[in-house]
Chain A
Amino acid sequence: MTTASALPSFSRPAPSDEVVVRAVGLTKVFKDFWGRPKARAVDNVDFEIRRGEIFGLLGPNGSGKSTTIKMMLGLLYPTKGHITVFNQSPRDVRTKARIGFLPEESYLYRYLTAGETLDFFGSLFQLDSAERRQRTEQLIEMVGLNQARSRTVGEFSKGMQRRIGIAQALINDPDLIILDEPTAGLDPLGCREVKDLIVALARRGKTVILSSHLLADVEDLCDRVVIYYGGRIHAQGTLHELLARPDQVRITSPIVSRETTEKVVSLLRSEVGDKVRLDNPTQNLESYFLDVVEKARAQGQTSGATSGNQVAQFIRGGSAEAATSQVDAVLDRLTRPAASPTNESLVSTPVNAAPVDESKLASLIRTAEPAAPAAPTTTGGATPEAPAAAPPAAAPKPVDLSQANDKLSGLLGRK
């Protein structure tokens, strides 16, 4: 059931037949110092993940999910069997260049700021400084850390660390995104943004592997899942295959009169006996919570604006359609090739993209100058500037970035 505030029903292309990850007889046995087997973390596992899929790894703690992910990333080596990613060894740097990974915990350097963190990871992908700056900016904006860009990661809350973790996982515009508990530590709005993002990535042909304890998240997002227990896969398939109950049927309708209801029930009972159940459907708590927050926001109420709220405004916009286009717009910009003069002009709205009008600028400088003495500025002192600078009438209308993003999506094509 989809409610007004639940995930929008995106029209995603069907996953292709191209296999991105293939595990055959994958086994991992952890050994002690003397080489004696200690634990069989993954036991003879086979699975395939195809391009464009959102693939769920489910299982209780210690069931082998994380070990499988670590082997997929080339951090652990299989004891038996093999695993390939993009038909190559996961330890190959060419494979790693196509992967984005969000670990369960924040393993980021605590002394780097958000900007420095993304710049560092960007440089590991050999990106030029202009492209690193551009991607860093877009990702910081996307994950809603604008106000915290100068703070070190060590000062971040868990949710903020999660956000910057997601940003670093996307810095290289990966083809395969591995997310280990991506919504852990996020507030419901943040969770929703992440889920929107995952769907948007899949729509663009990216493959997403999701490991989560939150079954609702997996149910909302995944095309196929595997369920681990004791290192073995105990169930595998599409959600429809796994969850459908062919021996039962549900009828949903608008409210009808009591007599009609009783007639229908008695008719059904005449055929199947007492196995008929009648109740009012309920929406899930996440949907209800998001609905309440959305209404409160529309009424202008605030309960302490957080960066999470700003993310919601930026990514989700007012409607599901707008949300789709804005997330896509951000992803479009991320997937754009290295900055070039032509591309650079595409980033901005027509208003912003126009070169600075020198005559207007001169008049603005004259307006600002009385309160902004030039000497301290040019000789090194911080320039005290006029409050609110120019009068509102003189200033052009503030730029609506969503328009720019829509135009950008239009120019580059939606996926």
Chain B
Amino acid sequence: MKRRYEIYTDGVQNRIAVPTGFSMLAFLLGPVWILLQRLWVEGIAVLTAEALLASVLYVNRVPWPFHVGLGLGFGLAVGFYARHLRERSAERRGFEYTCTVDARDGATALAMLVQVGGVPLPEWRARHLAGVPDFAPKNLRAIFSVAILTLKAAIHYRFVLVLLFLLIGAVFVLPGIIKHDGTATGFSQILLAYTLTAITGLLGFSSLWLACGTLARDIEDMSLFLVMVKPIPRWQIWLGKWLGIMVLNVAMVAISGTIVFGLLHARARQLQPAPLAKRRNEILVAREPVGAEIPNIDPEVEKEFEQRRRDPALSQMDPLFVKKQVRAQLEGRLQAVPAGQFRPLPYIFNLGPDARERFKDQSLFVRIRFFTPEYVGMDASFDHGWEIGGSKQRPAIRMVNNFGPDVPSEFAIPGDQIEPDGRLVLRYANLGALTVVVPLQDGIQVLCPEAPFAVNFARGLGVIVCWLGLLTAVGLFSASFLSFPVASFVSLAILVVGLSSGTLKQVVEQGGIIGVSSESGTIVEPSLFNRASVVVYGSAYWVLNQVSSFSPVDALATGRSITWLDLARAGFVVVGIAGGALGAAGMVILTRREIALPT
């Protein structure tokens, strides 16, 4: 079997043949192999890094498989990087590249060169370069070559190294310095929330900065000038840069995510069975929240509204305002449960036709978050009574538990209580001394196991990657028409404005901008301008709302499921719609822009 050898020659015609590609010996010996190549600095650096990381794992009482994994990781890196290390070693000894020969072994490669008189054949002279592979479709090669160029720039300017260092530092250091409630569940929640937030934040800013820099700087230093005179449409340059940054982002998310996942499981060895089970049930799961059915109150609203209109005091008021007040009042009645009473309507959860079979012999969790009409202090708690299920075949189960207001609380219920048609019926009794308010939308949910945590975690990381895709598009969009510093500033500004969607929402609720009644909070007379503003602001608000509704960190930290559908929606809305709109605008601007204007 033939292998590719690079031949190096020194000043006195000594030659060495260096095999390219993965080196098994380098993989097995790691830093020792590097030292054998007389690369003292590189060898000692790798040895030190390996020892440092091993100590961190040891201090964290990480089990031995992770040590093995670390060793394997280093070995693989050295094995794949062997060619460059050998090249460096040869060059330090005064050798220079001569040619590349395909041969059975090194001796044959050298002999082949000798056989042609020491002058390499023209086809041997070219050095193998990591360029666009031939299997890439011809019309996409330009995009891929720009993507590879972007990656090379990030690696050359040590951006990747610094980013990796920061990410690994954040992932290892944060769990050690942040406070938690002392429980395994609390620690896991904090670990997930803080490290994933740190990863998202670091990669988010780096994506913005890199996106602005890679395009704006290329235009400023005229490098793009030479690319744009080649037969590559400018939109492909834009897309190539986006792709390059995204490849980097995916790699960074995968590396840091793997470390977080490893750390999370490494703690399991130190836990007692009870906290371990609690953690497994509440955090390291993928539970899909199903909200209670909201009863249709429209007929009652209409009925009540008609009655109120007959009241002479109310007949002069804005009918829309009156109807809004009536609806709020009726909703309030459904949300409030007076002390010592059952809620008049039961909570009904539709878990799907096969739910009874799926969750047989499993525990489901009910999550409740309620409020009290008056402040009761942080330590106050209330008794709650529950009647779960109940049919001719299986009697209802009654439970009593005690929770505090304002924060979500959970309790387990048996999955066997689900009705044959997939409905779960819960009746709630307020056993406390005060009225409690359980919001209709998300006050009470049933959490059903949906997938293993690893899958959920991977989907969560996928959503983070979608976010990074949008931020990269924001950076590239700004850099399509602005200089690097201005583009960075504008990108951050877009980010801030995008996150504060309150004004947009207000305009939509008011029904316009001009002529808003101070009494009703809505516009008095609809006009073309107001209609147009509702359409524009409404669309922007819808997009922003959709985009910001994907919060993988919160979902992972609370054991909530991020379904494949959520991931697909995130991809479609965040990358496809929001990123796509910015991308299209950026590409059009870049295509129409005059490059090389005198400054």
Residues of A in contact with B (beta carbons under 8 Å apart): 30, 41, 70, 73-77, 93-94, 96-97, 99, 101, 103, 105, 107-109, 111-112, 115-116, 119-126, 128-130, 132-134, 136-138, 141, 146-147, 149-150, 168, 172, 344, 347-348, 351-352, 356-357, 360-361, 364-365, 367-369, 372, 374, 377-390, 394-399, 401
Contacts A125-B230, A141-B125, A383-B17 known; A120 to B145 CB distance under 8 Å?
yes
Would B229 and A101 count as touching, CB distance under 8 A?
A: yes
Would A389 and B25 count as touching, CB distance under 8 A?
A: no
Distance of A101 Cα from B24 Cα, bound (Å): 45
Would A372 and B107 count as touching, CB distance under 8 A?
A: yes
Would B112 and A361 count as touching, CB distance under 8 A?
A: yes
Would A123 and B116 count as touching, CB distance under 8 A?
A: no
In B237-272, which residues have CB < 8 Å from any A CB? Answer: none
Would A382 and B117 count as touching, CB distance under 8 A?
A: no
* B296 interfacial contact with A, CB 8 Å: no
Would A30 and B598 count as touching, CB distance under 8 A?
A: yes
Binds A, one of B149-157, B167-175, B469-477: B149-157
Residues of B in contact with A (beta carbons under 8 Å apart): 5, 12-19, 23-26, 33, 36-37, 82, 86, 89-90, 96-97, 105-108, 110-119, 121-123, 125-129, 131-134, 138-139, 141-142, 144-145, 148-149, 152-153, 156-157, 221-223, 225-233, 594-598
Q: How far is the CB of B56 from chain A (nearest CB, A)?
A: 29
Chain A residue with Cβ nearest B153: A111
Contacts of A168 in B (CB 8 A): 226
Q: How far is the CB of A250 from chain B (nearest CB, A)?
A: 44
Chain A residue with Cβ nearest B6: A382
Contacts of A129 in B (CB 8 A): 131-134
Would B149 and A76 count as touching, CB distance under 8 A?
A: no
Would A348 and B596 count as touching, CB distance under 8 A?
A: no
Contacts A124-B227, A149-B97 known; A75 to B129 CB distance under 8 Å?
no
Would B117 and A398 count as touching, CB distance under 8 A?
A: yes
Would A365 and B108 count as touching, CB distance under 8 A?
A: yes
Would A73 and B229 count as touching, CB distance under 8 A?
A: yes
Distance of A395 Cα from B134 Cα, bound (Å): 37
Chain A residue with Cβ nearest B592: A77
Q: How far is the CB of A342 from chain B (nearest CB, A)?
A: 14
Q: List 6 A-B contacts (CB under 8 A).
A: A74-B228, A93-B231, A109-B223, A111-B153, A137-B125, A344-B123
Distance of A147 Cα from B129 Cα, bound (Å): 17
Q: How far is the CB of A83 from chain B (nearest CB, A)?
A: 14
Would B25 and A119 count as touching, CB distance under 8 A?
A: no
Distance of A141 Cα from B99 Cα, bound (Å): 13
Q: Of the candidates B117, B132, B152, B232, which one forms a contact with A399 in the assembled complex, judged by CB atoms under 8 Å apart?
A: B117
Chain B residue with Cβ nearest A378: B105
Chain A residue with Cβ nearest B112: A356
List 6 tightest A-B contacts by C-beta distance, closest first. Answer: A377-B106, A380-B25, A380-B23, A364-B111, A111-B156, A123-B145
Would B123 and A75 count as touching, CB distance under 8 A?
A: no
Q: How far is the CB of A147 from chain B (nearest CB, A)?
A: 7
Q: Of the candidates A99, A352, A383, which one forms a contact with B106 in the assembled complex, judged by CB atoms under 8 Å apart?
A: A383
Q: Of the candidates B90, B112, B127, which one forms a contact with A382 in the assembled complex, judged by CB atoms under 8 Å apart?
A: B90
Contacts of A344 in B (CB 8 A): 123
Would A352 and B105 count as touching, CB distance under 8 A?
A: no
Would B37 and A382 count as touching, CB distance under 8 A?
A: yes
- Given A112-B149, A401-B119; 6 other pairs, CB 8 A cutoff: A41-B598, A96-B230, A381-B37, A383-B17, A389-B110, A389-B113
Select the residue from B97, B222, B229, B596 with max chain A CB neighbours within 10 A.
B229
Chain A residue with Cβ nearest B131: A119
Would A133 and B14 count as touching, CB distance under 8 A?
A: no
Contacts of B25 in A (CB 8 A): 379-381
Q: How far is the CB of B81 from chain A (nearest CB, A)?
A: 12
